[in-house]
Amino acid sequence: ELKVEQNPLFLSMQEGKNYTIYCNYSTTSDRLYWYRQDPGKSLESLFVLLSNGAVKQEGRLMASLDTKARLSTLHITAAVHDLSATYFCAVDMWGDFGNEKLTFGTGTRLTIIP
Amino acid sequence: EPEVTQTPSHQVTQMGQEVILRCVPISNHLYFYWYRQILGQKVEFLVSFYNNEISEKSEIFDDQFSVERPDGSNFTLKIRSTKLEDSAMYFCASSDGGVETQYFGPGTRLLVL
């Protein structure tokens, strides 16, 4: 059974600081997704990482994937209050019928303090 | 920009009642999914649907649950006899398969009393 773990579960950081969220998964997969969720809202797709060594950047967020270590990171640079949200990584399990399901991590609740 | 829509946004029901949650996936997508999120917890996969049949389902998706694509646009999740533990946010998602991400709808918050 695929397990996806994130750490930390909670992160409180000051504006302007840098930090990294880690996502580990237990079985081979070369597709990993990062989503953002604001309180009471849906999941917004941030990044799609499709191969070993993939790196994607959007604004102050950068995501990377190491399939050999089964590890993805989401790096936040010079955090601003607008980035406060819960961040989920999700691993794709490709089945007989294609893109069958995402297995989500536990989520990291990020709070940016002014 | 195309988006997944869901109705209703909130539903309150009595234990034992049937509920139907509705979704309109993105129009050219071929793969459809239901997930749920109990308050404060992670998102859990329920079922995937492709070519008018279930392609995979989780242990949560027992005989009380069913999905249907009654026409060319809607995708529904039915819970036949709701239990208290079915209270959660239910998300519909769709994708065009391949490597594209799944796009999530705004969710239906279900409360079973």
Q: What is the pLDDT of residues A60-105, one digit of tens each?
A: 999 999 989 999 999 999 999 999 999 999 998 765 555 568 999 9
Cα–Cα dist B39/B51, whole Å: 32
Instruction: Write the DSSP symbol of residue B71.
Output: S
Residue B93 burial class via C-beta count within 10 angstroms: exposed 0-12, middle 13-18, buried 19 and up: buried
Q: What is the pLDDT of residues B25-50, one digit of tens each?
A: 999 898 999 999 998 888 999 999 98
Contact assignment for B99 to A31 by CB distance below 8 Å: yes
How many CB atoms sit inside 10 A of residue A66's CB?
14
Q: Share the mean pLDDT of chain B.
A: 93
Q: What is the pLDDT of residues A31-51, one digit of tens each?
A: 899 999 998 888 999 999 988
- The correct answer on CATH 2.60.40.10 for the domain covering A4-113 is yes
Best residue in B7, B10, B35, B48 for a mutation probing chain A (most A CBs within 10 Å): B48
Looking at 2.60.40.10, 3.40.50.300, 3.40.50.2020, 3.30.420.40, the CATH number of the domain B5-112 comes to 2.60.40.10
